Amino acid sequence: MTFKQPLTHGRLVRRYKRFMADIILDNGRTITAHCTNSGSMKSCLEENAEVYVSLSPNPNRKLPYTWEMIKINGDWVGINTLNPNKIAFELLKSQWVETLPKFKMLKTEVKFYDSRFDIYGESDTHKWFFEVKNVTLKDGRFARFPDAVTTRGHKHLQTLVKAKSQGYRVAMIYIVQRTDVDIFAPAWDIDPTYSMELLNSIEAGLLVYPIQVKVTPKEIEPLKLLPIYLEQE
């Protein structure tokens, strides 16, 4: 995924009310940027850290800037939760995950009963549902999800399993937007209910693809699939 417009550099002052971040730009101006990430952002918040923001072309937006990334331990961490869906769609379209089929049709935001999945696809042999999540939580070598209790995520897992029972192929795509981790695992200590549901869903046929990407101010590019560790510690 390439950023369509050049990003603007600054430093983080504070993140507050979940969806707001005060940032000092290099020209000395202080702005309030929209933070799309509703989670705790644990392990990816640091006062005075370098950040990049994007400017919306919509002149009517209340907060014209969107916070895209932050530099932690010398590397960029992508915190915009809208980007993983775009990344996942591109990767499915290009058949980057070699074990997945070639899709003759891909659509975003497709309703299934009372849920709406991020991506729907059709191959020559099956119909697929994909749910996409952004991962930024670092715990040693582990990239963990979620970083806060997620009842919505729990519901998505249950509905994916329901779709699987009706003949669909179903998968979770976790976009890991940092490179200082090398294993994906559920965050048992933060949300044991979600973590157990993920384990049960995998046993019911859910496929899981933790895709690590490298974030830069110009683009976000896929690196590799991370191994999965499911055991509760």
Distance of CA 111 to the CA centre of its chain: 20
Higher pLDDT, 39 or 227: 227
Is pLDDT at 212 greater than 80 in this prediction?
A: yes
What does the pLDDT read at residue 146?
96
Q: Please say whether the beta carbons of 41 and 15 come within 8 A.
A: yes
Distance of CA 197 to the CA centre of its chain: 19
How far is Cα 98 from Cα 24, in angstroms, rounded to an integer? Answer: 43
Q: Are strands 50-55 and 105-112 parallel, antiparallel or unpaired?
A: unpaired
Is pLDDT at 233 greater than 80 in this prediction?
A: no
Is pLDDT at 59 greater than 90 in this prediction?
A: no
Q: Looking at residues 126-154, what average pLDDT do you find? A: 96
What does the pLDDT read at residue 226?
98
| 83-225 CATH choice from 3.40.1350.60, 2.20.25.90, 3.40.718.10, 3.30.1240.10 | 3.40.1350.60
What does the pLDDT read at residue 123?
96
Is pLDDT at 43 greater than 80 in this prediction?
A: yes
- The 3-state secondary structure of 118-166 reads EEEEECCCCEEEEEEEEECEEECCEEEECCCCCHHHHHHHHHHHHHHHC
Q: Please say whether the beta carbons of 157 and 117 come within 8 A.
A: no
Q: Which phi and psi (to 5°) does residue 127 adopt?
A: -105, 140
The pLDDT-based confidence of 232 (bands split at 50, 70, 90) is confident
Is pLDDT at 13 greater than 80 in this prediction?
A: yes
Tokens 């059709």 correspond to what residue? 122
What is the b/e burial string over 124-134, where b = at least 16 CB atoms within 10 angstroms of the residue's CB? eeeebbbbbbb
Mean of the per-residue pLDDT values for the chain?
96
What does the pLDDT read at residue 108?
97
The verdict on domain 8-78 having CATH code 2.40.50.580 is yes
**Cis status of the peptide bond prior to 64, with omega within 30 of 0:** no
Is pLDDT at 21 greater than 90 in this prediction?
A: yes
**Cis status of the peptide bond prior to 217, with omega within 30 of 0:** no
How far is Cα 62 from Cα 33, in angstroms, rounded to an integer? Answer: 10
Q: Does the fold of domain 83-225 match that of domain 8-78?
A: no
In three-state secondary structure terms, 66 is strand
Q: Looking at residues 192-216, what average pLDDT do you find? A: 98
What's the sign of the alpha-carbon dihedral 104, 107, 111, 115? positive
Could you state, in order of their start, the residue ranges of all structural domains in the chain? 8-78, 83-225
Q: Please say whether the beta carbons of 97 and 209 come within 8 A.
A: yes
Model pTM score:
0.95
Q: Looking at residues 46-71, what average pLDDT do you find? A: 95
